[in-house]
């Protein structure tokens, strides 16, 4: 079943077009983080990709909106909005297939210096934190702000942990952390205030690969605990030799 994006009164679709200057427009589907709304964002991006709408330069799908960059010398805003509104979008009852990307992670120790803090904060053992954190598939709502950084949803409430009072100046690439209600993995080294519970040897961002990132919006991410430093080093070596490929499965 398909229906027009903005033409079905019975659906809860309520889209708004908000100009983001003169070269981009926000197509907004809602104001909250919600998997259904997010799926609609990605389906709309796919529909625009597959369409013959002229003048669309690139799109940035996020949690609940789609930023569409356009060339005003090729298409004007009212025309672009009309064409996007008229797109046929697969109805939300139909579940997509999705990809599950496994992130091998060594929890605790020097790779996850804040595991103990997170455990104390949650009133449980470190091993329980690991079991909870690695026991679920996280939806990748969107990618941003930096290369290959996935915004993940679905962190167990018991693991919600405040940020560090003062951010670390450098978090190593591959660090797996928790900040408030979010969990994530840093593809590139950067400063940050996240509580670090582990590290993955995967190279999640490679500027010369196509696509440049392993994880993409709409994927699910599963953290898979590694037994020990030897297992970490083994994958790390394969990654550096270019012989490791990330494990992915198809879910639905």
The binding site for other proteins (CB under 8 A) comprises: 18-24, 26, 28, 31-33, 45, 57-67, 69, 72-73, 76-77, 142-149, 151, 188, 207-208, 211-213, 216-217
* Angle between helix 126-133 and 115-122 (nearest 10): 90
Kindly report the backbone phi and psi dihedral angles of residue 154, in degrees, each rounded to the nearest multiple of 5, phi listed first: 110, 15
**Comparison of 35 and 109: residue with beta carbon closer to other proteins:** 35
Q: In the structure encoding, which two tokens stand for residue 186, read together?
A: 């840093």
Residue 145 beta carbon to other proteins: minimum distance, rounded to whole angstroms:
3
If you search the block for the tokens 């994530």, which residue do you land on? 184
Total count of residues recorded for the chain: 252
Phi, psi of 231 (to 5 degrees): -65, -40
Residues 204 and 176: their CA atoms lie apart, in Å, by 12
**Looking at beta carbons only, is 96 or 233 nearer to other proteins?**
96
Closest CB 67 distance from other proteins, rounded Å: 3
Closest CB 228 distance from other proteins, rounded Å: 31
Minimum distance from residue 219 beta carbon to other proteins (Å): 12
Output 113 or 147, the one with its CB closest to other proteins. 147
Smaller CB separation from other proteins, 50 or 131: 50
Residues 6 or more apart in contact with residue 135 via CB below 8 angstroms: none
Task: For the CB of residue 22, give the shortest distance to other proteins in the complex, in Å.
Answer: 3
| DSSP element (H, E) containing 175 | strand 175-179
Whose Cβ is closer to other proteins: residue 29's or residue 232's?
29
């Amino acid at each position: 079943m398909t229906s027009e994006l903005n033409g079905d009164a019975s659906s809860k679709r309520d889209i708004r077009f908000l100009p983001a200057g003169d070269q981009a427009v926000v197509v907004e589907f809602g104001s909250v983080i919600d998997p259904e709304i997010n799926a609609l964002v990605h389906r709309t991006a796919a529909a625009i990709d597959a369409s013959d709408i002229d003048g669309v330069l690139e799109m940035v799908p996020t949690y609940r909106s789609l930023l569409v960059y356009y060339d005003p010398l090729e298409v004007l805003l009212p025309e672009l909005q009309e064409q996007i509104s008229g797109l046929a979008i697969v109805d939300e009852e139909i579940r997509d297939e999705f990809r599950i990307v496994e992130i091998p992670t060594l929890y605790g120790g020097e790779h996850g210096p804040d595991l103990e803090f997170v455990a104390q904060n949650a009133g449980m053992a470190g091993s329980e934190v690991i079991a909870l954190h690695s026991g679920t598939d996280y939806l990748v709502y969107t990618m941003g702000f930096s290369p290959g950084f996935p915004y993940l949803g679905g962190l167990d409430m018991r693991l919600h942990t405040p940020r560090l009072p003062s951010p670390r100046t450098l978090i190593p690439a591959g660090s797996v952390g928790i900040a408030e209600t979010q969990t994530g993995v840093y593809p590139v080294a950067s400063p940050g205030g996240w509580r670090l519970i582990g590290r993955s040897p995967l190279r999640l961002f490679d500027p010369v690969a196509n696509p440049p990132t392993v994880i993409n919006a709409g994927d699910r991410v599963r953290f898979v605990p590694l037994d020990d430093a030897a297992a970490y080093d083994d994958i790390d070596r394969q990654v550096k030799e270019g012989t490791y490929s990330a494990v992915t499965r198809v879910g639905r």
